[in-house]
Amino acid sequence: MSQRVSLLLGVHAHQPVGNFPDVLRDAHVHCYRPFLQVLYRYPDFRFSVHFSGWLLDYLLQHFPGDMELLHEMVARRQVELFGAGDTEPVLAVIPNRDRIGQIEAFSNKLATKFGQRPQGAWLTERVWESAVVPSLVDCGIRYVIVDDYHFLCTGRTSTELNGYYTTEEESHKLDLFPVSESLRYKIPFSPVEETVAYLESLADQQLPGGNPAAIYFDDIEKFGIWPETYQWVYEQGWLEQFIQKVLASPKISTRHYSEYHASERTRGIVYLPTVSYIEMNEWTLPAASANAYSEIVQQAKANSWYEHKKAFLRGGIWKNFFSRYPESNWMHKRMLGLSARLALLPEQHRNPKMQQKLYEAQANDAYWHGLFGGLYLPHLRRAVYNAIVELEALLDAQAPRPNYFTEDTDFDGIDEAYLQNGVLQAILKLDRFASICELDAYRLKHNFGDTLRCQTEHYYHKIQASEQRVSNTTGGIASAHDRIGYKHEINAEDIAADDHPRNLFVDRLDGTFITYRSLAAALENNHFQSKNTEYPIHKHIVLDNNRLQVTYHFTAKLTHGFSTEINLAMPSCDGMGGRYLYQGKIPGGFGQPLELTGMTEIVLDDDTLGGHVILTTSHPALLRTQPHFSVSQSEGGFEKIMQATTLLLEWPVTAPELTVTLAFHAR
């Protein structure tokens, strides 16, 4: 009698902190609810699930009936719950104290809400660094999920990866389950018969001292949210047919990871390199390197040796996103600074809200970019900055900071100057532009400097390709990884890289960037002088309550045109809630170009912000505004995303002094 293969099927459900309510509702209607409803009808089909903490809280609040199905399946031992960090952080890039806090917070939540404390954990984006082992073990986690690719990078072969292995760090022992890439690409995209036949073929593997496992753990969003999957999985019945055929098979047994872990022995010791899933290897590299890596991979596939040697074609690691995107690195280092401040705060001065905001600032999605990463999505970065700004205000109330100080926050070799008065904070980059890289309004809990510069991306070479729909030849549907599509019309101008930071008060003389140097004696007054000795310009930046004031002194009368560029991150971007107010009228929204002559005051009003910004100038200006877009990729195709509204103010300088003021008001 042939043995059975243990199908360890797990799904990971996640939505980013700060995602739009309609997106959450749609995800629930087209994925989470039907998935749970179908599985509920088959109590003998055992599976594992991880709902990220923020999403779980949302579903418990808004869809308690559907969450009761999950509760019942846990109670009848159909479901094993997996742990993680509560807000889905990449554990490897947050301090150890926060790893432990995040894991414990989520494990306690599962124990309280569902009566089950997890033994296994989902690693965000399957990012592995051995440094996370002690934190996981100290929180009671006995095993985690990683990719089979992680194991192939150690020299293991795919035929060996049908059980779990053991690793250790600082004498902390942790077991590792390798997720099958073959199953990730088959479930749920291949026809049911083909998928079940593949599972049954695994039952015939002979293992010394153990039974084989078919290990699957992947995004539940593939079951209803990815293109075409709702029709395929539910309307055409893929999921129900798959469950029925698995339960009817004499060669397949559905089990929990915990059951398999308790009954089978480890396959041995293993030490994994720092790595994530294989697609991330390309996404995290700079564009030129990513294109070179992709070309080598395609050559390997064309020459039929990729599958056998792909472990030796390793690209970048997840942390490369910090060196690749200055905006990601800045957010990360700001978060680390606040984590350190909170850790130093005496216990009696802390409150739960501080910890909550820190954890929200550690949510992974806004820190990276690939097919799914959300660095390009302003509302996800805004959620991180909202938490950062709110936490900073809470910390300042307990442990005030100086009104002025300098440090190299992002470790790029260039100092930043911090100006703050408890109402506003302006952070100046002390480079040649002498511009503002972060501008926080504490009452509005918003960073108006949260923009994203355009840089060349590795997927831009695909943009000239014709839109196409890809499907496989076996009657299934295509994975999002294999599609090329367009959500917007995109041209060469849209993908041109920026030649300057998208900051506030980037100055030009006759269209040429002005290079400044700090005046050391007046640095605390944020006084800068242009290096052009023929036309010296002094730039002075101060805060006054809720007003940011930038004054320019021209020591010689200029016959040249002077301009300053202000990139403002407005929450509504090109939505219906953001508009300009000028002389009692609405000349347009943030997503529309605008040109005004003789402008001395304009208001930027934003419903999402719950406030407005008033821009005034001491001398009439020519104002040109336009939306700042970047081109991103997603599972739905290439798209243009508005990052900020760009205001370009121009003057023919005829006076010795010019003042530009931004005032921030909450409704």
pLDDT of residue 481: 45
Query: What whole-number distance in Å separates Cα of residue 12 and Cα of residue 84?
Result: 11
- How many residues does this entry show for the chain? 667
Neighbouring C-beta atoms of residue 346, cutoff 10 Å: 8
Q: CA nearest 278: which of 481, 42, 502? A: 481
Q: What is the pLDDT at residue 86?
A: 97
Buried b (16+ CB within 10 A) or exposed e, 557-579: ebeeebbbbbbbbbbbbbbeebb
pLDDT score for 535: 75
Backbone angles phi, psi at 526, to 5 degrees: 55, 60
Residue 359 · residue 105 · CB < 8 Å? yes
Phi, psi for 374 (deg, rounded to 5): -105, 15
Q: Which residues, listed in sequence order, are joined to residue 516 by a DSSP beta bridge? A: 530
Residue 205: per-residue pLDDT: 73
130 inside domain: yes
According to the model, what pLDDT value does residue 206 have? Answer: 65
Res 558: pLDDT: 65
From its phi and psi, is residue 170 left (phi > 0), alpha (psi between -120 and 50) or beta? left
Q: Are strands 537-544 and 547-554 parallel, antiparallel or unpaired?
A: antiparallel
Give the end-to-end CA distance of the chain in Å, rounded to a whole number.
74
The answer to whether residue 429 is domain-embedded is: no
pLDDT at 630: 93
Q: What stretches of 170-225 show up as alpha helix (H) in DSSP?
A: 181-186, 192-202
CA 87 to CA 337: how far, in whole Å? 19
Least confident of 462-471, 500-509, 518-527, 567-576: 462-471
End residue of a domain, out of 233, 249, 276: 276
Kindly state whether residue 517 falls inside one of the protein's structural domains.
Answer: yes
In a domain, 203, yes or no: yes
Q: Which residue out of 66, 86, 125, 282 is catalytically annotated?
A: 125
| Of the candidates 276, 283, 279, 327, the residue with the CA atom closest to the CA atom of residue 145 | 276
Sign of CA dihedral 641, 645, 650, 656: negative
- What confidence tens digit (pLDDT) does each residue in 112-147 have? 999 999 999 999 999 999 999 999 999 999 999 999
Model pLDDT, residue 469: 39
Q: Is the pLDDT of residue 489 over 80?
A: no
CATH of the domain at 616: 2.70.98.10
Provide the domain count of the chain. 2
Of 422, 30, 360, the C-alpha closest to 228 is 30
DSSP 68: H
Yes or no: say if 468 and 486 are a contact pair by the CB < 8 Å rule. Answer: no
Percent of the chain with pLDDT over 70: 93
What is residue 488's predicted lDDT score, i.e. its pLDDT? 58
- Span 6-27, mean pLDDT? 95
Instruction: Share the mean pLDDT of the chain.
Output: 92
List of E strands, 344-478: 404-407, 416-420, 424-429, 436-441, 446-447
d(C-alpha 553, C-alpha 618), whole Å: 12
Final residue in a domain of this structure, among 276, 293, 317? 276
Question: For residue 487, what pLDDT is reported?
Answer: 59
Query: What pairs with residue 13 in β-bridges?
Result: 51
Per-residue pLDDT at 486: 52
> Domain residues for 270?
5-276
- Convert the pLDDT of each residue in 192-219 to its tens digit: 999 999 999 998 776 655 789 999 999 9
Region 266-285: mean pLDDT is: 92
Q: Let me know if 390 is a catalytic residue.
A: no
Distances (CA, A) of 287 to 233, 235, 299, 325, 330: 35, 40, 18, 12, 20
Tokens of 181: 């890439």
Query: In a 3-state reduction of DSSP, which class is residue 495?
Result: helix
Q: Which helix or strand (DSSP H or E) is residue 541 part of? A: strand 537-544
Residue 344 is assigned to a structural domain of this protein: no
Whether 470 has a pLDDT exceeding 50, the answer reads no
- Answer yes or no: is 180 within a domain: yes
For residues 621 and 617, what is the distance between their CA atoms, to the nearest angstrom? 7
Q: What is the pLDDT of residue 654?
A: 78
Token output for 137: 């073990």
* Banded pLDDT at 475 (limits 50, 70, 90): low
pLDDT exceeds cutoff 50 at 560:
yes
- Phi, psi angles (nearest 5°) of residue 631: -105, 125
Q: What is the mean pLDDT of residues 574-593?
A: 93
> Is residue 365 exposed (0-12), middle (13-18) or buried (19+ Cβ within 10 Å)?
buried
Taking 80 as the threshold, does the pLDDT of residue 526 lie above it? no
Q: Which residue's entry shows tokens 């030009």?
A: 508
pLDDT of residue 632: 87
Q: How far apart (Å, rounded) are the C-alpha atoms in residues 148 and 598? A: 64
- The CATH number covering residue 95 comes to 3.20.110.20
On whether the CB atoms of residues 351 and 394 are closer than 8 A, the answer is yes
Helix axes 53-62, 96-114, angle to 10 degrees: 30
Contact 18, 87 (CB under 8 A): no
Last residue of a domain, one of 276, 306, 328: 276
DSSP state of 180: P
The whole-number average pLDDT for the span 228-236 is: 96
Asked whether the predicted pLDDT for residue 485 surpasses 70, the reply is: no
Helix (H) / strand (E) element for 630: namely strand 611-634
Whether residue 608 lies inside any domain: the answer is yes
Mean of pLDDT values over 87-103: 98
Is 650 known to be catalytic?
no
Q: Residue 482's pLDDT band (boundaries 50, 70, 90)?
A: very low
| CB-based contact 203:251 (threshold 8 Å) | yes
Task: Choose, from 57, 169, 219, 415, the residue flagged as catalytic.
Answer: 219
Residue 644 lies in a domain: yes
What is residue 48's predicted lDDT score, i.e. its pLDDT?
98
The string of pLDDT tens digits covering residues 367-425 is 999 886 589 999 999 999 999 999 999 999 999 999 999 999 999 999 999 999 999 99
Give the Cα-Cα-Cα angle 376, 382, 384 (nearest 5 degrees): 100
